[in-house]
Structure 1
């Protein structure tokens, strides 16, 4: 791939999307390199980098062939640290397939659990561009560009679940998430339904609502799951979550909220797990994959000005520098002509210096003759 994108790259109207995707990817990589050289970035700069990553993943999901239209339905379970995302995955599938740990940041790779479809079909090759599919048992903290996708044993699974692949994802709010947070955004980009898992400790975190603002333009169906609720905390927490959702537009304003009670043992199932599965099924029935491209366009429009502002500023600075250089050269030439070429006294001195310099540079036998000729001229 060349380093320059030109209009000749557009062979047909449908190539415009691919061209835009190439531009966004290069812009994302450039900003990532700049961020690496300046680790202390303002929050809005980090948000725009995340938006670029999400837009890149969303466009990757729509471009190319139509395999993505034929793949099984996808559910991405996302949330901050220690909200119980892996437990929610198990409750949704009706089987203890996702490994649960009390340690923060335990899950650092996207881990898919399939209930339907051929997990070796071509659609699996495009799930996470740039990541390697790896058996779940071989996922390593030393290899963050990997994901897993495995079958779920059918005996203990919920037979009525409409979804076919559920993704357990890393957190997005810990300090370590800066190294694997892109996996969360890529999981959201491929999802048909997003299940946001909160808890009574994490429901008001700023990172949660910043993420929702970021993904809102995609308009993917959303289910909010508030986990680990105690009897005395349920009503105020749920009320606060619904009030925050009311600040959003579109479908997120009335997104369904499911309450899950606190459990002493991870192996237990909350009474409302069945309600969670029912709500996700309802959201899945309303999925329209034809709306993915418009959603990606809304995301790009929402952030376009912020993305291209540094490029426009750099271009303006380059033009201003060229203007300064051109003016300096013009002024220097004007002064040279005025003070030397057109000056009645200094011009003779200048001509003599030129003749003497020529004599030093030319063959000895011809220097004197050439000098007299130049002087007469």
Structure 2
């Protein structure tokens, strides 16, 4: 699941860079933030699973100039966190180990992924994909043992550049310490982020900083209203903080000394897996909207291709298999049958032919010259190539129609452009596949001829009458002339002698069997053409076209990838099915 969330996030980031619509940009950026949060929360689950006793992680969050770093120093009882009156001074997550060693935090590097761990003094403004860890050397009475994180703000002008660090630190936290000032507590950015992290189910306290005497009750009531508008869980404990003039630091109230230690008991790492899946399921359909739109377009494209292939096969059936003058294949079978019959009356005719040829006619046929001659002069191959070309023209027209309908129009336009650029290649591949099919199908033609020949062996009267007729002799001469390249397939099909032999067979005792063989040959031919040419050659090539759409514009996440991820979504981390 982690890999899929990372893939989805990367595709959103890539597509976002190409978007021109401002509303779409805002929507996509929100989804990217959610995906970063989900990715980090999944990593948090991995960190919990890999630790026998996971360290407690506490994050101080809040808007700019709310005094977060000052509160961190108060909690640590030190000056470990750098403070400044300037907005945006802290731009990296900075972790302070309280009662634990930095060496105990080795799993955090895996959690932060591409973020690099540096010394606090090494953090600079030239890069944001880093964090620091240092040990607090003083005793803190306010904090349990664990890591306290000082985080960047999330609302300044520059916060977009280091937003990911904030999200990663927040997702890592078992507890949230929200710091707001009397000037900042009502900012919408505060409540947007608090609403976004509600589904992480982190115990929270609010530090109301920079207070002046008498303002506390009114602000707390307003805080309650803001909380109820943003979240559905219970309003947390509020810690009022007043500044101590000599030190310039807020003073933690005595009655709240054990508040954070008490809050730590509410942390339940064993519930993380359930919270993780609830988070994913809540946003899943929203995240996948553009992916599913592409999948719908893919399905529509497949249906369009399948319908066009069906129409192509109908044309093939009508203009070749069922056409009384163009269907040549069965005539080839009759010609092969005549060769098998070896008419005695042809002795004188063939004698002259054999004097010219080095090998007998049958040997010449075995070399494949017969098949090559048939393929070169075949009406069927020409028709198939015409149908393929017409199919691609039809598809191009349909793609333009879909593009003009407006829904996913750019996808259809670019697919049409791909079709145009690959059209000639597709037709050449189809033409070669058609020729290969035609040559290999001669085996089926010969099988049909042999089937008729064996049937005639059981009908000596019919066989003898055939051998006795002049029409049969003439047809055999025509057939052999055809095999030697003397005439083309068209001549063979319309030759009166060949038509006469076909009529004789049809009207004889084997007529019913002949019609059965012809019907089976046609059906086999239909199925072979459909599979070898229009499915294996043309359809597969057409269905692969969307894979070549630019990765910078489209998500290009396959239905198989999505199905694998959704299967993981319905399972617990340890393989148990969720009901």
TM-score (norm 2): 0.54
Structure with higher Rg: it is: 2
1:275 offset after TM fit, Å?
5.2
Question: Partner residue of 2:236?
Answer: 255
Q: Is 1:375 equivalent to 2:490 in the alignment?
A: yes
1:181 to 163, 166, 169: 163
> CA–CA distance in 2 between the matches of 1:168 and 1:263?
21
Aligned runs of 1:190-209 on 2, under 5 Å?
190-209=172-191
Q: Could you say which residue in structure 2 is the equivalent of 1:161?
A: 143
The counterpart of 1:110, out of the listed 73, 93, 113, is 93
Aligned to 2:249: 269
Deviation at 1:274, TM superposition (A): 4.6
Alpha carbons 2:191, 2:230 under 8 Å: kept:
no
Q: Where in structure 1 are there 5+ consecutive unaligned residues? A: 1-19, 356-365
Mapped pair 1:136 → 2:117:
no
Secondary structure at 2:149 match in 1:
strand
Matched, 1:91 2:74: yes
Aligned-residue offset at 1:62 = 1.4
Provide, for residues 3-61 of structure 1, a one-character-per-residue CA deviation record: whole Å limited to 9, x for no partner: xxxxxxxxxxxxxxxxx222222212222222233374454433322221111111112
Q: Which digits, 9 at most, give the CA deviation of each residue in 1:50-82, with x for residues without a partner?
A: 221111111112126744452432210011111
Match of 2:299 in 1: 319
Distance in 2 between the 1:259 and 1:107 partners? 23
Mean Cα displacement is larger for which, 121-130 or 28-37?
121-130
CA contact (8 A) 2:43 2:111 kept: no
Alignment correspondent of 1:3: none
Report if the CA contact (8 A) 1:113-1:165 is conserved. yes
- Choose 104-113 or 120-129, whichever is displaced more: 120-129
Give the secondary structure class of the aligned counterpart of 2:263.
helix
Q: Which stretch shows the higher mean deviation, 176-185 or 157-166? A: 157-166
Residue 64 of structure 2 contacts residue 155 of structure 2 at CA under 8 Å; is this kept in 1?
Answer: yes
Change in 2 beyond 3 A, CA 1:144/1:68? farther
Cα pair 1:92 1:277 within 8 Å, conserved: no
Q: Specify the SS of the correspondent of 1:120.
A: helix
Aligned partners of 2:7 and 2:380: how far apart in 1?
Answer: 57
Question: Cα–Cα, structure 1 residues 130 and 354, in superposed 2: closer, same or farther, change >3 Å?
Answer: closer
What is the distance in 2 between the residues matched to 1:172 and 1:107? Answer: 11
For residue 222 of structure 1, report the CA deviation from its aligned partner.
0.7
Task: Determine the C-alpha separation between the residues in 2 that align with 1:221 and 1:134.
Answer: 29
Between the two structures, name the one with larger relative contact order (CA 8 Å, sep ≥ 6). Answer: 1
Q: CA RMSD in A?
A: 3.3
2:9 alignment counterpart: 28
Give the Cα separation in 2 of the matches to 1:89 and 1:64.
24
Once residues 352 and 86 of structure 1 are traced to their aligned partners in structure 2, the CA distance between those partners, rounded to angstroms, is 82
CA deviation digits over 1:237-293, x for unaligned, max 9? 22111112234666x42211222235667x423333555553222211222221222
2:374 maps to what in 1? none
Match of 2:221 among 239, 264, 272: 239
| Structure 1 pair 186–65 and aligned structure 2 pair: CA distance change class (3 A) | closer
Number of equivalent positions: 346
CA distance in 2, matches of 1:102, 1:119: 29
| 1:214 maps to 2:199 | no
Distance 1:67 1:27, change over 3 A: same
Deviations 1:99-153 (A, max 9, x none): 1112211111110111222211333433422211100101112221111000112
Using structure 1 for the length normalisation, give the TM-score.
0.80
